């Protein structure tokens, strides 16, 4: 093996650029009733006085005003997270690291101690909830299994590349636990649709049971929404986290 394997337990989400804010949600909604004068509401100072409007839009599912904004993230996550994320088609744009065009780096996912993973009694596949693992041996065994498999996979990948074959074929043995980087652009509406399905909130109108690592990624994006669109975010929570 030529390269040393690295293990990582985080999902890294970096905000790269953004456009808009609560004031743009307000202004876009105001065009219905004010036409051209909606432009007066693009002043960020005026967002707060229209808190009620944002709540009304959310509650009655007037979704389009939440689309006149955008944000781009650079995310580093295991492929098994991307596999779920990329299923979000509408209002999401992606550009990902490619195993056909570059040698993938030997960075692999290992769960942190404390990652909930033990099936509860009466566990049902439809509502996959897990408890923290109290038995260290289980965690150690899991980690050993993953490490061992990851190591062989990457070694075989390197050997395949040395044969000079198509890198798109050489990678077939790489596991879904390997990390991959991706640019993600979305808007507040598509982000809320994503959050409603990829975070677990017992009080949500429709409770979701996402994969733990998927939720880690979603929660990191959620912070950006909370900071950049405080009124929108508050209304999202106040209305059962149903995307408008």
Residues with active-site annotation: 198
Query: Which alpha helices (H) appear in 35-121, and where do they start and end?
Result: 51-59, 79-85
Task: Rank residues 157 and 236 by Cβ distance to a second copy and give the closer one.
Answer: 157
Q: Residue 130 forms beta bridges with which residues? A: 119
- Footprint of a second copy on residues 40-59 (CB under 8 A)? 42, 56, 59
CB of 65 to a second copy, least distance (A): 6
Q: What backbone phi and psi angles, to 5 degrees, belong to 8?
A: -145, 145
CB of 50 to a second copy, least distance (A): 13
Work out which of 2, 3, 60, 112 binds a second copy, going by CB under 8 A.
Answer: 60
The answer to whether 76 and 217 are in contact (CB under 8 A) is no
Report residue 80 as tokens: 């098994």
Work out which of 10, 18, 219, 226 binds a second copy, going by CB under 8 A.
Answer: 18
Q: Does 211 bind a second copy (CB under 8 A)?
A: yes
The answer to whether 59 and 91 are in contact (CB under 8 A) is no
Task: Rank residues 109 and 233 by Cβ distance to a second copy and give the closer one.
Answer: 109
The answer to whether 209 and 127 are in contact (CB under 8 A) is yes
| Chain centroid offset of residue 155 CA | 30
Task: Rank residues 92 and 234 by Cβ distance to a second copy and give the closer one.
Answer: 92
Q: Does 15 bind a second copy (CB under 8 A)?
A: no
For a second copy, what does the binding mask look like between residues 120 and 139, x meaning CB under 8 A?
Answer: -----xx-x-x--x----x-
DSSP string spanning 65-84? GGGS-EEEEEEEEEHHHHHH
The SS3 assignment for 63 reads coil
Number of residues that bind a second copy (CB under 8 A): 110
**Interface stretch with a second copy, choices 1-9, 146-154, 220-228, 229-237 (CB under 8 A):** 146-154
For a second copy, what does the binding mask look like between residues 62 and 101, x meaning CB under 8 A?
Answer: --xx-xxxx-x-x-x-xxx-xx--xx-xx-xxxxxxxxxx
The answer to whether 33 and 23 are in contact (CB under 8 A) is no
- Footprint of a second copy on residues 159-178 (CB under 8 A)? 159-160, 163-166, 168-177
The answer to whether 38 and 153 are in contact (CB under 8 A) is no
Q: Does 202 bind a second copy (CB under 8 A)?
A: no
Taking the CB of residue 46, how many other CB atoms lie within 10 A of it?
Answer: 15
Task: Rank residues 196 and 224 by Cβ distance to a second copy and give the closer one.
Answer: 196
Task: Rank residues 32 and 48 by Cβ distance to a second copy and give the closer one.
Answer: 32
């Amino acid at each position: 093996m030529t390269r040393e394997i690295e293990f990582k337990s985080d999902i890294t989400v970096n905000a790269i650029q953004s456009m808009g804010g609560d004031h743009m949600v307000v202004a876009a909604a105001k065009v219905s009733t004010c036409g051209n004068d909606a432009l007066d509401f693009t002043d960020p100072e005026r967002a707060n006085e229209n808190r009620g409007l944002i709540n009304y839009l959310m509650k009655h599912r007037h979704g389009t005003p939440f689309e006149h904004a955008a944000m781009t993230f650079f995310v580093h996550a295991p492929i098994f997270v991307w596999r779920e994320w990329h299923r979000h088609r509408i209002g999401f744009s992606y550009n990902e690291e490619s195993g056909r065009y570059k040698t993938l780096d030997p960075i692999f996912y290992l769960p942190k101690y404390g990652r909930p993973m033990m099936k509860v009694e009466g566990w049902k596949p439809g509502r996959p909830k897990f408890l923290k693992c109290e038995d260290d041996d289980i965690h150690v065994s899991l980690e050993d299994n993953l490490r061992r498999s990851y190591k062989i996979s990457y070694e075989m990948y390197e050997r395949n590349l040395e044969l000079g074959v198509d890198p798109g074929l050489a990678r077939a043995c790489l596991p879904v636990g390997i990390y991959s980087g991706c640019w993600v652009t979305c808007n507040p509406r598509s982000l809320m649709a994503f959050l409603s399905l990829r975070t677990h909130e017992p009080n949500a109108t429709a409770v979701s049971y996402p994969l733990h690592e998927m939720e880690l990624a979603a929660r990191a994006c959620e912070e950006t929404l909370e900071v950049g669109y405080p009124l929108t975010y508050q209304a999202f929570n106040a209305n059962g986290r149903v995307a408008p």
